[in-house]
Structure 1
């Protein structure tokens, strides 16, 4: 370990308590974008935090939640961009939390709170890395840094595209560290290089002006059955999506992707333990589960119709609705899928089923042989003492596309404070203190080496 890295690590360890207090303060501020709770207050808090860490800050209003921007120059003209978000998922069901979600609690070597990992704890870890590198360089940064901290990631980032397009001059960078990242169950650093796109829609149908007695089911149309039949037309038992043209443009994994997928561990047994799954989709086993991420999907996220309370109610529902999302692989376009979905329903005789688009994101993927990826992998191996795992594509979606293309094919990697059971989006979300510290050490080393790329 070089002397400068020792100074960085020592600084982070010595100031860990202060950064945990800062994380707790941020997590104590509710910022639930799904219901617009505390967004302005949290944006202002984030702005004050960035200023306290030596960044020049601007807060940009949007039709939704504000976007917080921070920048600091470095010795090199190169700039590293950090993307984070201050919004969090709703904490419900509250009864499943061991401690209140907005009252951060330290126990068993971890900080528990909504946002402790996703994404407030991660943001503070990156600011801590910034401090440590600046301290090791006696007040200077080796390269410039730009922070973009938005407040609508958890609801599909509806305003980040226009923000980027309107402020390209402020966002010029040569690499980006995205929110997320961490270690696998064996303690190996996991660097994600790509994400799928997503199209989220609500399908709804109304067959009557009001609910009716189920004794009229022999003559009155049932909205629930109508919707179920429409949903059944979207995908078959073989898991293939039946919308004509849905797979057009979908790119298979490249030869390099195939190598990376083969190098990933087999997590089948772990997933069986976590989810209690008896059989995976299409009978997949072993490393087939890793490769399946290159298959686009159609998922029913929620259904509502009629009476669903305790006991029995013989009702014929007048209205039914379903939330459906399509995860898309590189080469697919959510706008194109939306058009094809509507045309399919019309063609199949379901023209009465309305389609409302709730949000869309495009796929994005960084080349695994990019020098920036090599830097992140090398420094990850140094921090964790294990070779880094490169994941060419993960199943989720995030607005990388909004930055990567407009900023000139910007290379993007995930490197963070997570592990496989942080319970992000679920009750008892937490970040382990050692993971937080190692995540900050990793970010600091990437920042330290970025100027020389």
Structure 2
């Protein structure tokens, strides 16, 4: 194994060994301390900033006027169900050309790739460029304190460009990068129609909460997935010509995606550019779960007293997650669903998208193409969400995501891993980006 891969494996093993599960509040202080130690080992000045949930690790150092900021997180998802892991999720194991463990990719592997790329830069060019790191400990629970952190410390965090937490290659091994993330707000709808569960014979005269809630949910979108809430789309930012061009250049893998997801087709028969346009740049409402009544074996003739459903809205620039609950309430009331309660489960995250015309986006594309030997795929937004908006808003700098993953990494699931070949190529791409950004060559 090449020298830098051996070093990377050792660093990653140290991080994976710490069960930094933010949903359970486990090992977060120890995880922050370890990240600070590794950053200091690189020659940066690292600090643990308190008062914003788990400690936020901030580090800076290096030479030059122009700065590059890296965003990562040290918390991970729970490892459950443990029985589906072949090895201890909190012990890094190498097999079949991959490193396995919780956080091996998301996001500890990505963080280690950045540390190693900076070490390689220093070895090759004799100095460490001016970089900053923000590594938080609650990304996996929605980063509820990060907006305040970035707002309060905007001057210290100031940089000309930002490298976001992750990226990698697609199913065909093509490198990809992205310049934005969708926003999100998670809600719950609740209906109660009786003081307690009733005999089902009362169904002829007593309203059933399942029916009420099902009708309310059915009013939220049409058969093609378009949201039916008035004014929901009012703030959606029109796509620029460059963004439309990027969507049109995404290779058409409609059939491969359909097979990988195990679905018969996509809403509205979308495929090719239309499919990717909807996936990456359109908002939606998604029903996460519906809970009511009896679900055990056999029959139980009951009229349940209550029903509830969990849902989330994925948002695109410039939609406001704080506005969505009010729009939803007004929609329900206008349709006669005054009895349906709307409960906000999380604060939500705003959507974000960098300007694709910014020179840093072009540098990132060039770095990937030179490192991989093929043209990268550029996504204006990823379909998922994350806390990118505070950085773009308060720092006024572009953010681009690139990294070391691949679609089969099993992120958040049992058997999470990063392939060594992807880690190597992704790290060298990061090194090339550093050279282009700081040296101009």
Class of the TM-score when normalised by the shorter of the 2 chains: over 0.9
Change in 2 beyond 3 A, CA 1:93/1:379:
same
Partner of 1:233: 219
Change in 2 beyond 3 A, CA 1:164/1:208:
same
Counterpart Cα distance in 2 of 1:233 and 1:402: 33
Counterpart Cα distance in 2 of 1:274 and 1:359: 32
Partner of 2:288: 301
8 Å CA contact 1:201–1:359 kept in 2: the answer is no
Partner of 1:129: 117
After superposition, the C-alpha distances for 1:284-306 in whole angstroms (9 at most, x for unaligned) are 12332112132210101122222
Partner of 2:9: 20
Counterpart Cα distance in 2 of 1:153 and 1:340: 27
8 Å CA contact 1:13–1:437 kept in 2: the answer is no
TM-score normalised over the length of structure 1:
0.92
C-alpha displacement of 1:274: 1.1
Partner of 2:154: 168
8 Å CA contact 1:252–1:294 kept in 2: the answer is no
Change in 2 beyond 3 A, CA 1:137/1:248:
same
3-state DSSP class of the match of 1:382? helix
C-alpha displacement of 1:21: 2.0
Partner of 1:5: none
Residue 274 (str. 1) matches residue 253 (str. 2): no
Partner of 1:252: 238
Partner of 1:151: 137
After superposition, the C-alpha distances for 1:52-79 in whole angstroms (9 at most, x for unaligned) are 22221111123532211111132x2111
Partner of 1:50: 39
Partner of 2:400: 413
Please say which of residues 181-190 and 12-21 is displaced more in the overlay: 12-21
Which of 402, 408, 426 pairs up with 2:390?
A: 402
Counterpart Cα distance in 2 of 1:215 and 1:100: 52
Counterpart Cα distance in 1 of 2:301 and 2:16: 45
C-alpha displacement of 1:220: 3.5
Partner of 1:204: 190
TM-score normalised over the length of structure 2:
0.94
Change in 2 beyond 3 A, CA 1:90/1:217:
farther
Partner of 1:382: 370
Please say which of residues 45-54 and 121-130 is displaced more in the overlay: 45-54
Structure 1 runs of 4+ aligned residues shifted over 4 Å read none
Residue 290 (str. 1) matches residue 244 (str. 2): no
8 Å CA contact 1:187–1:384 kept in 2: the answer is no
Counterpart Cα distance in 1 of 2:244 and 2:62: 39
Please say which of residues 306-315 and 338-347 is displaced more in the overlay: 306-315
Partner of 2:251: 265
Residue 59 (str. 1) matches residue 59 (str. 2): no
Partner of 1:3: none
Please say which of residues 91-100 and 287-296 is displaced more in the overlay: 91-100
8 Å CA contact 1:84–1:150 kept in 2: the answer is yes
Partner of 2:97: 109
Give unpaired runs (5+ residues) of structure 1.
Answer: 1-11
Change in 2 beyond 3 A, CA 1:340/1:434:
same
C-alpha displacement of 1:98: 2.8
Change in 2 beyond 3 A, CA 1:44/1:321:
farther
Note the 1:172-183 alignment, pairs <5 A. Answer: 172-183=158-169
3-state DSSP class of the match of 1:202? strand
C-alpha displacement of 1:310: 4.2
Q: How many aligned positions are there?
A: 438
